[in-house]
Structure 1
Amino acid sequence: MSVMENQQEGPDRQVLWRSRPRFRGSRVVLAAVAGCAVLGGVLVLVLPGERRPEPPAPPSPGAVAMAAVTTGLPAALPDLAELIDEREKRLRKHPGDARSWAVLGTAYVERGRRLADPAYYPRAEKALRTSLRARPKRNTEAVAGLAALANARRDFSAARRWGEAALKLEPRKWTTYPLLIDAYTGLGEHESAERMLDRLTELRSGPAVLARAAAVYRDRGRPEDAAASLADAAAGARTPAERAAYLERAGQLAWERGDLQDALRHFQEAVRLDPDQRAAQAGQGRALAALGRTSEALNAYRVALAKQPCPRYALELGELYESLGMPEAALVQYDLLRERVRRAVAGGADEELVLGQFEADHGDPRAAVRRLRAEWRRQPGTEVADALGWALHRAGKHEEALRFAVRATDEEHSGGVRSAVYTYHRGMIERELERYGSARRHLAEALRINPHFSPLYVPAARAATEALGEPPDVGVPEMDED
């Protein structure tokens, strides 16, 4: 075997190389007393009595998180904590280090997002703007970090501005494109998001790109392509945290198409790989509730909320309690939702969407309409269109409600996403307007897309479908004979 073939075995594996002795009369016979190890592509002579060199030490958790944060990949929470600690210590000694400020700010964004703790966002903004002051020109890392921060805060207009500025600085820096895809999607600009994906795939391949492609495919009504891309992304992921993040998204896709067992399997594996994957724990709660395993579902939601008190999880758990006839327990979760939204606002985040959705069904529908109209003016995405349409319906403005419901489900405007919730909303609005044929079709479609989409509203969809009955049996009109 040649030295080159040994090097192809990989830099982290010691491979001994032996040859026949060239000098048979020599007192040192190489084949008998010496070995060579290939470490990192370097041929190392190991003399008699010497210990072979140890393999390279694995990277520190902070270094692993640094690699993830600077490339926009999911990072484990303990690794993020170590990276933040490292950068804070370095900046106390080197306060003018622009790159460390940018890395620190981006790490704060990711930690705040993972913990659903918006208190990290002002700290992130301060760090990123400090980086820009330290290096005002061509500071792509800080500009991209501000785009990531805006996406985390659900300020998609700002994310688009910062993302486009970062792209102008370095058009071939691939990590900027996922930020713009998120921003364009949040603004309902699906064609722009798809264009960014095309450019991204020209520059880069690999698990992160596959995962980003899956999100675009899902939003464009291609769930099978999305699932295949996520499966490939998970198979190619390099760290447990990265793989867990892709599995969580695969579980969500399975949930959206009503495949409970597949969804649960993905969520459980994600939590096994990364116990801090709270989105997957909430997903377990969703799937377990639909499977009738109520106690396990409640426990999964509680665990998720204890470590990541996300307003949306509180809304889901509250509605699960309502479906179980436990209104007092539901009110506790709704109070938690309001408190988390207040904290989000203090951190500069926009949670008007989830608050509007809550108010439409469990609070003041007119207040929901006011909030969601303002949100629509800021960022007219598909999810906002659906929420505003439903709030208008709940407030008694059914004709206007239908215009937004159509926008959320019409392929031209929505991008083509297939959502049981959006379709249910449209069907119920059409029923109120006595458009019975269309209502019957959309309610049946909602239950076909995902027959478990909500523990509270699936029974309502079934009852409405039964009340509408079968379509009238209209015979073929007879043709007059000539």
Structure 2
Amino acid sequence: MTELRPGVAAFSRASYAAELRGDTDEARRYLEYAHADAWTPADLAYTRHYLGELALHSGDPATAADRYAEALRAYPAYRPALAGQARAAALSGRLPEALALYETVVERLPLPQYLIEQGETRLKAGLNADWTLLKAQRRLFEAAGVRDDLTWAEFEADHGDPVRAVEHARAEYARNPNLVAADALAWALFKAGKPAEALPYAKKATATGWRNALIAYHRARIERSLGRPTRIDPDFDPALPALARHS
């Protein structure tokens, strides 16, 4: 990805800050400002892609798919937008379409995030998830000294060993004590059978008002396990956590 123009970068940061506060309208407005300031194909694709992400966060996969398509028209090589189309299709229940898109995505850019999303979509479709390539990528990154504790904390909590998830999540939170890391640690602790220890981190993850369905689901599950009255969104699909996490 090329360097963003200063206005695009500044407006994008302001949009993300607004989203973390739960102000979706302001977040969208800043992204529109960023788009108006963009003129290179890469910048135009970047802004349309993140407008798609914002729509997906807001529960509007149809609009999200439109924004991702606009991003790809601006810059056909922009892989995050293609992954966004796959994510929107999966979350809309169009699993064959999503799987076909993910095949293209991971052939061109086999990042752990996309491999996990592909695996979860296969599981949702009643197929086996083959984590072989993901584990190979993990070994390559570790051999190169690349640390990605957040990704592995989330993966181990959802699909592997909760004890290892806690180890990765603690390491990530120690380095980056942000909302996403707090949620990862909360969920890892919960999956490891420690809901009381998890709850303070779940509260930190939701403290700003960020409207993230997965984080809200995690906190609700933790609180319910502790006997606290809470509501779990009946429309949220917990079978696709990586897609919800990155949407």
Preserved contact between residue 154 and residue 184 of structure 2 (Cα < 8 Å): yes
Secondary structure class of the residue paired with 1:383: helix
TM-superposed deviation, 1:349: 2.8
Distance in 1 separating the partners of 2:176 and 2:144: 19
Q: Structure 1 residues 290, 385: closer, same or farther in 2, change over 3 A?
A: same
1:269 equivalent to 2:70? Answer yes
Q: Structure 1 residues 453, 238: closer, same or farther in 2, change over 3 A?
A: farther
TM-superposed deviation, 1:335: 2.5
1:255 equivalent to 2:56? Answer yes
TM-superposed deviation, 1:376: 1.5
Aligned residue for 1:425? 218
Aligned residue for 2:91? 290
Aligned residue for 1:322? 123
1:337 equivalent to 2:134? Answer yes
Code of the aligned partner of 1:298: L
TM-superposed deviation, 1:455: 4.4
Aligned residue for 2:172? 375
| Residue in structure 2 matching 1:364, options 150, 161, 168 | 161
Distance in 1 separating the partners of 2:167 and 2:12: 35
| Residue in structure 2 matching 1:241, options 29, 33, 42 | 42
Distance in 2 separating the partners of 1:379 and 1:391: 16
Distance in 2 separating the partners of 1:272 and 1:345: 36
| Residue in structure 1 matching 2:4, options 55, 69, 73 | 73
Preserved contact between residue 150 and residue 184 of structure 2 (Cα < 8 Å): yes
Q: Structure 1 residues 348, 275: closer, same or farther in 2, change over 3 A?
A: farther
Q: For residues 43-442 of structure 1, what are the structure 2 equivalents within 5 Å?
A: 72-73=3-4, 206-327=7-128, 330=129, 332=130, 334-411=131-208, 416-435=209-228, 437=229, 439-440=230-231
Aligned residue for 1:97? none
Q: Structure 1 residues 406, 270: closer, same or farther in 2, change over 3 A?
A: same
Preserved contact between residue 258 and residue 452 of structure 1 (Cα < 8 Å): no
TM-superposed deviation, 1:212: 2.4
Distance in 2 separating the partners of 1:335 and 1:452: 28
Secondary structure class of the residue paired with 1:287: helix
Q: For residues 436-451 of structure 1, what are the structure 2 equivalents within 5 Å?
A: 437=229, 439-440=230-231, 443-444=232-233, 451=235
Distance in 2 separating the partners of 1:452 and 1:306: 29
Pair member with larger Rg: 1
Q: For each residue in 1:305-347, what CA deviation from the matched residue of structure 2 results, as whole angstroms up to 9, or x when unmatched?
A: 11111111111111111111112xx1x2x22222223323344
Code of the aligned partner of 1:236: D
Secondary structure class of the residue paired with 2:140: helix
Code of the aligned partner of 2:82: Q
Q: For each residue in 1:368-419, what CA deviation from the matched residue of structure 2 results, as whole angstroms up to 9, or x when unmatched?
A: 11121122222211111101111111111110011111111122xxxx3221
CA RMSD of aligned residues (A): 2.0
Distance in 1 separating the partners of 2:40 and 2:8: 11
Code of the aligned partner of 1:252: E
Q: For each residue in 1:429-479, what CA deviation from the matched residue of structure 2 results, as whole angstroms up to 9, or x when unmatched?
A: 1111111x2x22xx23xx5xxx4565446xxxxxxxxxxxxxxxxxxxxxx
Q: For each residue in 1:219-256, what CA deviation from the matched residue of structure 2 results, as whole angstroms up to 9, or x when unmatched?
A: 23222111111122223311111100111111111000
Distance in 2 separating the partners of 1:342 and 1:272: 35
TM-superposed deviation, 1:270: 0.9
Q: Normalising to structure 1: TM-score of the pair?
A: 0.48
Distance in 2 separating the partners of 1:453 and 1:235: 35
Code of the aligned partner of 2:220: G
Preserved contact between residue 106 and residue 115 of structure 2 (Cα < 8 Å): yes
In structure 2, runs of 5+ residues without a counterpart are: 242-247
Of the two structures, which has the highest relative contact order with CA contacts closer than 8 Å and spacing of 6 or more? 2
TM-superposed deviation, 1:352: 1.1
Q: Normalising to structure 2: TM-score of the pair?
A: 0.90
Preserved contact between residue 213 and residue 236 of structure 2 (Cα < 8 Å): no
May I ask how many residue pairs the two structures share in their alignment?
A: 241
Secondary structure class of the residue paired with 2:4: coil
Aligned residue for 2:245? none
Distance in 2 separating the partners of 1:303 and 1:453: 24
Aligned residue for 1:80? none
Distance in 2 separating the partners of 1:261 and 1:391: 32
Q: Structure 1 residues 73, 456: closer, same or farther in 2, change over 3 A?
A: closer
